[in-house]
């Protein structure tokens, strides 16, 4: 069984300069990204809420209504197909 080594001032860590540079660069990039995100959030808090125009509201309302009608047509098609399947099943069980 190996005995645990003591860590002291004389302990040598085997990291190359390339590895140390990568660690420093990653830390700097993370910090810069964090501060940029914070600045964006602070700016967004100062901006007024967007106003929805009547045209935009009407277009969205029309799109929703059209989607509902298309869904209703699809449901009616499915009901028709289901009725046909039930009829065929009833015919085959006689």
8-55 residue pLDDT tens: 777 777 888 899 999 999 999 999 999 999 999 999 999 888 888 899
> What's the confidence (pLDDT) of residue 15?
82
> What's the confidence (pLDDT) of residue 2?
63
> What's the confidence (pLDDT) of residue 1?
57
Higher pLDDT, 5 or 53: 53
What is the distance between the alpha carbons of residues 7 and 4, in angstroms, rounded to a whole number?
Answer: 9
- Give pTM, 2 decimals: 0.43
- Which single residue is written with the structure tokens 């967007």? 50
Q: For the chain, what is the radius of gyration of the CA atoms?
A: 33
């Amino acid at each position: 069984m190996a005995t645990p080594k003591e860590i002291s001032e004389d302990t040598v860590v085997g990291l190359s300069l390339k590895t140390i540079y990568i660690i420093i660069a990653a830390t700097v990039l993370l910090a810069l990204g964090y501060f940029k995100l914070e600045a964006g959030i602070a700016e967004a808090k100062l901006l007024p809420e967007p106003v929805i125009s009547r045209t935009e509201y009407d277009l969205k309302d029309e799109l929703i209504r059209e989607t509902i009608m298309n869904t209703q047509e699809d449901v009616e098609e499915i009901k028709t197909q289901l009725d046909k399947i039930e009829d065929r099943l009833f015919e085959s069980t006689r």
